[in-house]
Amino acid sequence: MSDLQLETPRLRLRLMQSSDLDDLLRIFGDPKVMASFGGATFNREQMERWMHRNIEHQNLHGYGLFSVILQSEGLLIGDCGLEHMKVEEDQASELGYDFRSDYWNQDFATEAATAVRDYAFNVLHLPRLISLIRVGNAASKRVSEKIGMRFVAEITRNGISYWKYAIDGISNKHFIERPNGIRISN
């Protein structure tokens, strides 16, 4: 599993590694990025805990967050992937992403999320994906809609209001029938 990669025309998504710490800290240490979480920036110790939790999740569930590499520069510009969680008493697989703010508005989140969506349905055969988006985060809402997700409900989780978006694998065959340049390799 450690060699798993997804490739799109501009991005390479590979499993997160402990050596990604400094690059990820650049993302989670950015106040613009953290504003979407409504929280303070991460310090190195918080980033290490977050990474450790994500790598453990990957090992436990067989999937997790990918580090997103911009192929033209060989630069880690974000993360995108799946997290298994409990939402409203149901088990769910959430598709989420975080990108460096200097790479926003270039469709990288949409490109990465499309690759992860296709991987989730075509390889992992997950029945449904959700995304939890903080109320007011219009950019993430647009990404969810671009990849075929639809608004389901507004929910409160841990005292925070979210828009819940979802897509079902069986009813959305458009990504199976239309090749999009995504390559999966082990």
pLDDT tens per residue across span 104-134: 999 999 999 999 999 999 999 999 999 999 9
**3.40.50.300, 3.40.630.30, 3.90.1560.10, 3.40.50.10490: which CATH number matches 5-185?**
3.40.630.30
pLDDT at position 73 is 96
Task: Read off the tokens for 113.
Answer: 């999320």
Assign 3-class secondary structure to the chain. Answer: CCCCEEECCCEEEEECCHHHHHHHHHHHCCHHHHCCCCCCCCCHHHHHHHHHHHHHHHHHHCCCEEEEEECCCCEEEEEEEEEEEEECCEEEEEEEEEECHHHCCCCHHHHHHHHHHHHHHHCCCCCEEEEEEECCCHHHHHHHHHCCCEEEEEEEECCEEEEEEEEECCCCCHHHHCCCCCEEEC
Question: Per-residue confidence at 89, pLDDT binned at 50, 70, 90?
Answer: confident
Res. 143: pLDDT tops 70: yes
Contact status, residue 78 vs residue 97, Cβ threshold 8 Å: yes
- Taking the model in full, what pTM does it have? 0.89
Contact status, residue 185 vs residue 5, Cβ threshold 8 Å: yes
